[in-house]
Amino acid sequence: MKRLVPYLILGLLAVGCFSLATVLQARAYGWSRRAQADNILKVLLGDGRRLFANHFFIQADVSFHSGYYPSIFDQARAAQGSRHLTAEEGDPAHEEHEKSMDFLGPPRDWIERFGRHFMVTDHTHLHGDNESEILPWLKISAELDPQKVETYTVAAYWLRKLNKAPEAEEFLREGLRNNPNSHEILFELGRLSAEYHHDPARARKMWELGLRKWADQEAAGQKPDLFHLDQLAVHLARLEEKEGNLVRAIELLQLAIKATPHPEALQRQIEELEQRRAAHAPGASPPAR
């Protein structure tokens, strides 16, 4: 019997531990925010992970340029922001980006001249299937900082281009869950509805909601980006024009004029729509043949 006593004590302690664990586990879950973290990165890095998120977003940009990217020492002369990541050829943002990425300049000495044989010195962008190479970095960046909205919009843009609309929608919905007030994500979701699902009603809902969110942010003094107001208003105006709601389309274009850097083109479109509305108005005389 004496021999058994230590084993019995051990067994008793083990049972005690097990019983306590079943009681405490449920309570311990609520003790700290860290315990509620739903992925390993949150548990390991806590809020510090947001610091790394930007690094991975930049890594996506580096990958997009096949390694040709300004260092912190070149950045005064190089591109800032991420709009070039989604700019089409011919866009002003694209042209501006092309100019600003000529950051290397002529070599200052023989060491720099020789060193350029061992580094990427051509400004190129990914094309074809290679464009998907930036996606892992964007996904990691979103995991690290779910509040970084541009990660979702840039990834969705490329996923759309790569004919991966369902993945783009899923990723944008994840972004919207993390950023319910983001008009940028709502705009991208609207584009998916309009261009992929061909569902103008849903696209309208998204863009109208996006406009409201933009207005709420402006009212709260957050100075939201005018570029996105322009995008939302113009896309919604096109949709309303297609649906025959010319009055609403004109209103939206007038809203876009306040935000666009090129108001002349929009003004011409408004005038065209005004003419069409006048022609369709009840009592208007039929056009002369």
Partner 1 sequence: MNTIFALANVVIKELYRRKDFYVLFVLTAVLTLLLGSVSFFQDIKVVRYVKEIALLLIWISALVIAIATTARQLPAEREHRTIFPLLAKPVTRGQVILGKFVGCWLACGLALVVFYLFFGVVSGSREHSWPVLNWLQAFWLQWSMLGIVVALVLLGSIVFTAPSSNATICFILVLGILLLGRHLNQVALQQPEPLRSVVYGLYFFIPHLEWYDVRDLIIYDHQLIGWGDCALASLYAGIYAALLLFGAWLLFRRKPLHL
Please identify, among the stretches 24-32, 39-47, 116-124, 218-226, the one whose residues bind partner 1 according to the rule CB under 8 A: 116-124
Please identify, among the stretches 65-73, 81-89, 188-196, 259-267, the one whose residues bind partner 1 according to the rule CB under 8 A: 65-73
Q: Interface with partner 1 includes 132 (CB under 8 A)?
A: yes
**Cβ(240)–Cβ(234) below 8 Å:** no
- What span, in angstroms and rounded, lies between the C-alpha atoms of 201 and 207? 10
- What span, in angstroms and rounded, lies between the C-alpha atoms of 89 and 198? 25
The minimum distance between CB 185 and partner 1, in angstroms, equals 17
Q: Interface with partner 1 includes 57 (CB under 8 A)?
A: no
Q: Interface with partner 1 includes 208 (CB under 8 A)?
A: no
Stretch (H or E) spanning 158: helix 149-161
Q: At what angle do helices 226-243 and 200-219 cross, to 10 degrees?
A: 150
Task: Please state, as a whole number, how many other Cβ atoms lie within 10 Å of the Cβ of residue 113.
Answer: 11
Please identify, among the stretches 93-101, 135-143, 214-222, 275-283, the one whose residues bind partner 1 according to the rule CB under 8 A: 135-143
**Cβ(203)–Cβ(209) below 8 Å:** no
- Candidate list 91, 95, 102, 112; residue touching partner 1; CB under 8 A: 112
Q: Nearest CA to 248 among 208, 200, 201?
A: 208
The minimum distance between CB 133 and partner 1, in angstroms, equals 5
Token pair of 287 as six digits: 């056009």
Q: Nearest CA to 139 among 164, 180, 163, 168?
A: 168
Q: Interface with partner 1 includes 54 (CB under 8 A)?
A: no
Please identify, among the stretches 157-165, 186-194, 235-243, 259-267, the one whose residues bind partner 1 according to the rule CB under 8 A: 157-165
Q: Interface with partner 1 includes 111 (CB under 8 A)?
A: yes
Please identify, among the stretches 16-24, 25-33, 131-139, 177-185, the one whose residues bind partner 1 according to the rule CB under 8 A: 131-139
Q: Interface with partner 1 includes 143 (CB under 8 A)?
A: no
Q: Interface with partner 1 includes 125 (CB under 8 A)?
A: no
Task: Please state, as a whole number, how many other Cβ atoms lie within 10 Å of the Cβ of residue 90.
Answer: 7
The residue among 85 and 259 lying less far from partner 1, judged by its C-beta, is 85
C-alpha distances in angstroms, 122 versus 60, 66, 116, 147, 195?
Answer: 17, 9, 11, 33, 34
Binding-site ranges for partner 1 (CB under 8 A)? 59, 63, 66-67, 71, 73-74, 108-109, 111-112, 114-115, 117-120, 129, 132-133, 135-137, 139, 159, 162, 164, 167, 171
